[in-house]
């Protein structure tokens, strides 16, 4: 019979899974529209046309785009080389961004790290695999919320005998393996049995008595929890759910009025005393007569002779006047959509210009001020994810026989100074006595970059280089304005700046050699 830990883990997995599904649906743009009218909802569903504008993924993508690992190093060259090999062997150049994306989308992501062994039981490498929080969940200690009591992983396998539920409980010193018989749902404690190693994997009753337990000396579950908050994460776009629902409703309703804007609905008032309309049918004045072959999922008009639709004519007794009904103005829908986008940006702490890159984008100090809360959030994610990456590689090195290893994770800066105003500010700081190293670090450059630049360079030379950077930034801005006025072409501007930078690099090389 299943242990209490197994049933507790299954219960927590089942309770958390709907929220993860919702988060994924909003990121993918698969959330159904919400309409007060059931008839309107059915009509739009029958068309099979999708007019959704998915802004909810932007708060996630904006953060993930700036979560770029610059380097992971060890305390010595041997450890650093091993880390680089593990990174390459597990394809982490592709896997790491995906893990960050999953963690920001769902709030949680798990990485399972296990040793690979040869036929003699010697560890030859380490495998790292992402696991979804919909199938894996860490159960934290009630006494110490920072410690993991155990981790549950549950999944379903299809066999020739039917579907089988599988589960593993990963502890500090062992892994317990559980299974159900074919067809059992796994909801009851009696559904679960020891998953015994056997020649026939479809026979859960075969194998040795102790084969359902795998003992180890890892000292911790080999599972690592990436999360946006503690103890469990919160989707970065959680605050975007409400605005996205409103945007879906507004955009689809707007699309429903577009046909009426192109083909307005008309009316004709008739005078019964002077006009004989006894042989006319409501569809006789349609711009688009409907035949059986072209009939679609539109209103049949069975409940009224006045049929609503683009190009329709309402035939009213007694011709006295004709006209058309004006469709709703696009601003009735587009203005509220922009309000919802602004609300989404505010709620999710995402700069508004990231939702509309074609709009007015702030520059210089303005963009840094507007992005300050956003950049702070990115740095918080770097600290959280960085701590988990350190745990991953300290554990991986331990599996390879290197105990008590030290690992350092460095990130590409969340924001850097790249404009004229920023470099002018940096120059003023230097003039007023702020150490040049501190100025460069505040500009967003990494510690190792700054150390490399400052090696063998005195303060006077460094000050000159900062002034050169400020001058180049100023020239780039002015040349950009000239290109916008048509005085020079973009290609000419690029050529001038490339040549100037090349000359500066050449001069720096000559000075370094002399």
pLDDT of 301 reads 43
The span from the CA of 130 to the CA of 116, in Å, is 16
Q: Look at the alpha carbons of 95, 96, 100, 101 in this order and tell me if their dihedral is positive or negative.
A: negative
Q: Which two structure tokens, joined as six digits, stand for 332?
A: 């009735």
Place of tokens 């993918």: 28
Distance of alpha carbon 169 from alpha carbon 138, whole angstroms:
10
Q: How many Å apart are CA 287 and CA 311, to the nearest integer? A: 5
154, 165 Cβ separation under 8 angstroms = yes
**Which residue positions in the chain have pLDDT lower than 70?**
1-2, 34-51, 197-210, 256, 261, 270-306, 308-311, 314-320, 357-366, 416-426, 439, 441-450, 453, 456-466, 469, 500-514
Rounded CA separation 203/161 (Å) = 10
Structure tokens that stand for 320 in this block: 């006295």
User: Can you give the pLDDT at residue 293?
Assistant: 47
In the prediction, which pLDDT does 372 show? 86
- Can you tell me the distance from the alpha carbon of 79 to that of 396, in angstroms, rounded to the nearest whole number? 11
User: Would you state the pLDDT for residue 126?
Assistant: 96
Q: Per the omega criterion (within 30 degrees of 0), is the bond before 231 cis?
A: yes
Sheet holding 313-316, edge to edge: 313-316, 265-270, 319-325
Give start and end residues of each alpha helix (H) in 263-416.
331-347, 364-399
**3-state class (DSSP) for residue 478:** helix
pLDDT at 418: 59
What is the model's pLDDT at position 514? 47
Say what the pTM is.
Answer: 0.73
What tokens were used for 74? Answer: 């060890």
- pLDDT at site 505: 61
Q: What is the pLDDT of residue 1?
A: 53
Q: End-to-end CA distance of the chain: give it in Å, rounded.
A: 80
pLDDT for residue 224: 98
95: left (phi over 0), alpha (psi -120 to 50) or beta: alpha
Give the model's pLDDT for residue 111.
98
Coil vs helix vs strand at 233: coil
- Would you state the pLDDT for residue 73? 92
Question: Which pLDDT score, from 0 to 100, does residue 141 have?
Answer: 93
């Amino acid at each position: 019979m299943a242990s209490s830990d197994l049933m507790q883990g299954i219960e927590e997995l089942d309770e958390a899974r709907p929220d993860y599904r919702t988060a994924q649906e909003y990121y993918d743009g698969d959330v159904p529209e919400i309409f007060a009218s059931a008839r309107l909802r059915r009509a739009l569903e029958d068309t099979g046309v999708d007019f959704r504008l998915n802004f909810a993924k932007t708060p996630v993508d904006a953060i993930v785009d700036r979560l770029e690992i610059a380097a992971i190093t060890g305390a010595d060259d041997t450890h650093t080389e091993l880390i680089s090999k593990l990174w390459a062997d597990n394809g982490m150049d592709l896997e790491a961004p995906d893990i960050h994306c999953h963690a920001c989308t769902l709030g949680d992501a798990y990485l399972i790290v296990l040793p690979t062994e040869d036929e003699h039981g010697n560890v030859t490498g380490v495998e790292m695999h992402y696991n979804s929080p919909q199938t894996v969940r860490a159960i934290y200690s009630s006494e110490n919320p920072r410690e993991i009591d155990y981790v549950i992983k549950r999944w379903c396998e299809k066999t020739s005998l039917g579907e089988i539920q599988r589960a593993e409980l990963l502890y500090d010193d062992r892994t317990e393996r559980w299974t159900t018989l074919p067809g059992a749902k796994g909801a009851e404690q009696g559904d679960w049995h020891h998953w015994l190693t056997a020649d026939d994997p479809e026979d859960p009753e075969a194998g040795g008595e102790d084969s359902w337990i795998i003992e180890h000396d890892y000292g911790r579950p080999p599972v690592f929890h990436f999360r946006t908050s503690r103890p469990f994460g919160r989707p970065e776009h959680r605050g975007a759910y409400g605005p996205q629902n409103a945007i879906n409703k507004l955009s689809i309703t707007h699309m429903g009025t577009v046909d009426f804007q192109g083909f307005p609905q008309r009316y004709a008032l008739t005078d019964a005393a002077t006009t004989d309309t006894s042989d006319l049918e409501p569809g006789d004045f349609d711009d688009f007569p409907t035949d059986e072959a072209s009939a679609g999922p539109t209103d049949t008009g069975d409940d009224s002779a006045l049929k609503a639709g683009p190009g329709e004519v309402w035939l009213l007794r007694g011709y006295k006047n004709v006209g058309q009904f004006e469709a709703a103005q696009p601003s009735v829908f587009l203005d509220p959509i922009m309000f919802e986008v602004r609300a989404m940006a505010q709620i999710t702490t995402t700069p508004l210009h990231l939702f509309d890159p074609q709009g007015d984008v702030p520059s210089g100090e303005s963009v840094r001020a507007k992005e300050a809360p956003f950049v702070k959030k990115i740095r918080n994610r770097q600290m959280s994810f960085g701590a988990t990456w350190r745990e991953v590689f300290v554990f991986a090195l331990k599996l390879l026989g290197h105990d008590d290893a030290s690992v350092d994770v460095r990130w590409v800066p969340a924001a850097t100074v790249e404009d004229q105003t920023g470099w002018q500010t940096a120059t003023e700081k230097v003039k007023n006595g702020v150490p040049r190293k501190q100025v460069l670090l505040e500009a967003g450059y990494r510690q190792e970059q700054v150390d490399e630049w400052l090696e063998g360079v005195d303060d006077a030379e460094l000050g000159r280089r900062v002034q050169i950077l400020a001058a180049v930034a100023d020239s780039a801005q002015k040349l950009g304005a000239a290109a916008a006025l048509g005085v020079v072409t973009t290609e000419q501007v690029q050529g001038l700046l490339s040549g100037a930078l090349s000359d500066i690099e050449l001069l720096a090389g000559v000075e370094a050699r002399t």
